[in-house]
Structure 1
Amino acid sequence: MRDYSEQILSGEGKDDYARYMRTDELLSLQRRPDEVVHRDELLFQVVHQSTELWLKLASSELETATGLVTARELDPAIELLRRATLGVVLVTEQLDMMRFLSPWDFQTIRTILGHGSGADSPGWRAVQRHGRQLGRAHAALVEERGTDLAELYRSGVASADHRLVEAMVAWDEQVSLWRVRHFKMMTRIIGHDVIGTQGTPVDVLAKLIEYKFFPELWRVRTELTDTGPMGKYHLAESV
């Protein structure tokens, strides 16, 4: 009979779980109690470090999805894009933990951040890079097939092309929702009209809310509104 108490993986850690998950290393990545200037540094680091992990997964899914779109394998690309979007949902939701960080207490934590800024997040940089690459891959697909994006919606057919653009819009929307939540979290803690850790005004973040990875997929909604029954009605009224 197999002895399940025997640990069979190599590596550091007292058991196979610790060795595979590398928990000893993972849980040592936060500042020790004797290093912190405020106990809420643990909250601050856990939120941001876990964000990097989810974004690492999301950008990996995006990268693979882009390759699948290029290979014209749309259904698996859609599935991975949905997974990436859920990763950003989880990143967005965990910002609620920052509500427990007092604006005054953060001023103490801020003294040891140096010039560290979310603008330097490797996760968000990767997400932006792979998001743009997905946009280019999809644009090539649309051009190759001569796809009329508006007609995808007018036809009412739930084709793979239609599901893909909806998954892309959902991704774009979720990133924008994260930006909104992040901006509100920042202003809740440090206020408006202040300078961030890299010398950038915090209110600059508000301008990023309108950024779109796939602007053409949003413009088609305006086109549908303008050419739909009510759009034609209002156009006639204006004339």
Structure 2
Amino acid sequence: MKRKNDGPALPGEGDTDYARYMRTDALLDLQRSPAEVIHRDELLFQVTHQSTELWLKLAASELAEAIARVEAGEPASAESLLTRATLAVRLVTDQLDMLGHLQPADFQAMQPALGNGSGAESPGWRQTQTACRKLGLAFTALLADRGTDLAALYARDPSDPLFRLAEAMVEFDDRVSNWRVRHYKIAIRVGSHGVIGTAGSPSNMLAKLIDYRFFPELWQQRASTLA
């Protein structure tokens, strides 16, 4: 049996197995060095956004597997995976609170370091968007394979796995909407997206996206069921 003081057993760089498995040397070297920064809050800004990319990478991975489970006719397994993706989006939303510590002057001071970068360019978010579209198509195909539709689905027992998956999709959509709302408010507070109401400003674009839904048919059916 390996003892704790035997030293690292894994190959790679780092003084410990933790460092080698987690690749902490590379991870902690991804932020700009003190010699490079032009404002001390660049570290806060980079850590928040880099961790967002990691959570979105996980969300996209879980969504991809959920799609595979839907295509295999396993809605219960897909629901579990979608729930994990939803939690990742919630954590992305929660950490936006860190950006609330920035003052508009702070953001303006670090702006030159950011170049023309935009959150819309996030690879994690693009992968997540693509996965959501594929999930919607896979879910529609599964309904057809089961010989049912949304109206019949929402008349079923709420414990039905297919019904639960539909509700998990709605929950994911809702979490993304909450993220957009929080992002919009933080952007306005920090002053990073222009003045509210200015035509063509990033703030207006964010505001328009708040009501966007990946699965609008599910929302419409839920509303008509409650009417």
Q: Return the TM-score normalized by structure 2.
A: 0.93
In 2, the alpha carbon distance for the partners of 1:2 and 1:185 equals 49
Work out which of the two has the higher radius of gyration on C-alpha atoms and give 1 or 2: 1
Cα-to-partner distance string for 1:87-140 (whole Å, 9 max, x where unaligned): 000000000111111111100111211111101000100010001000000011
State the match for 2:146 in structure 1: 145
State the match for 1:109 in structure 2: 110
State the match for 1:216 in structure 2: 217
1:111 partner SS: helix
Assess if the C-alpha contact under 8 Å between 1:193 and 1:201 holds in 2: no
1:223 partner SS: helix
Paired amino acid for 2:2? R
Check if 1:125 corresponds to 2:126: yes
State the match for 1:79 in structure 2: 80
Alignment of 1:221-232 (within 5 A): 221-226=222-227
State the match for 2:164 in structure 1: 163
State the match for 1:92 in structure 2: 93
State the match for 2:23 in structure 1: 22
Distance 1:55 1:157, change over 3 A: closer
Aligned CA RMSD, in angstroms, stands at 1.6
Paired amino acid for 1:207? K
Paired amino acid for 2:144? E
Deviation at 1:193, TM superposition (A): 4.1
2:46 partner SS: helix
In 2, the alpha carbon distance for the partners of 1:157 and 1:101 equals 44
In 2, the alpha carbon distance for the partners of 1:100 and 1:24 equals 27
In 1, the alpha carbon distance for the partners of 2:195 and 2:130 equals 29
Paired amino acid for 2:221? V
In 2, the alpha carbon distance for the partners of 1:114 and 1:155 equals 52
Assess if the C-alpha contact under 8 Å between 1:101 and 1:189 holds in 2: yes
In 1, the alpha carbon distance for the partners of 2:195 and 2:151 equals 40
1:37 partner SS: coil
Assess if the C-alpha contact under 8 Å between 1:132 and 1:213 holds in 2: yes
1:9 partner SS: coil
Check if 1:192 corresponds to 2:195: yes
Q: Which moved more, 1:1-10 or 1:163-172?
A: 1-10
Deviation at 1:174, TM superposition (A): 0.5
The alignment of Structure 1 onto Structure 2 pairs a total of residues equal to 223
Alignment of 1:199-210 (within 5 A): 201-210=202-211
In 2, the alpha carbon distance for the partners of 1:28 and 1:135 equals 38
State the match for 2:4 in structure 1: 4
1:116 partner SS: coil
In 1, the alpha carbon distance for the partners of 2:129 and 2:154 equals 27
Deviation at 1:149, TM superposition (A): 1.9
Check if 1:67 corresponds to 2:68: yes
Which segments of 5 or more consecutive residues in structure 1 lack a partner in the other structure? 227-239
Deviation at 1:147, TM superposition (A): 1.8
In 1, the alpha carbon distance for the partners of 2:101 and 2:158 equals 47
2:114 partner SS: coil
Cα-to-partner distance string for 1:134-172 (whole Å, 9 max, x where unaligned): 000001111222323233333334100111001000001
Paired amino acid for 2:71? T
In 1, the alpha carbon distance for the partners of 2:76 and 2:13 equals 40
Cα-to-partner distance string for 1:28-65 (whole Å, 9 max, x where unaligned): 00011111110000000000000000000000000000
Assess if the C-alpha contact under 8 Å between 2:136 and 2:214 holds in 1: yes
Distance 1:157 1:211, change over 3 A: closer
Which segments of 5 or more consecutive residues in structure 2 lack a partner in the other structure? none
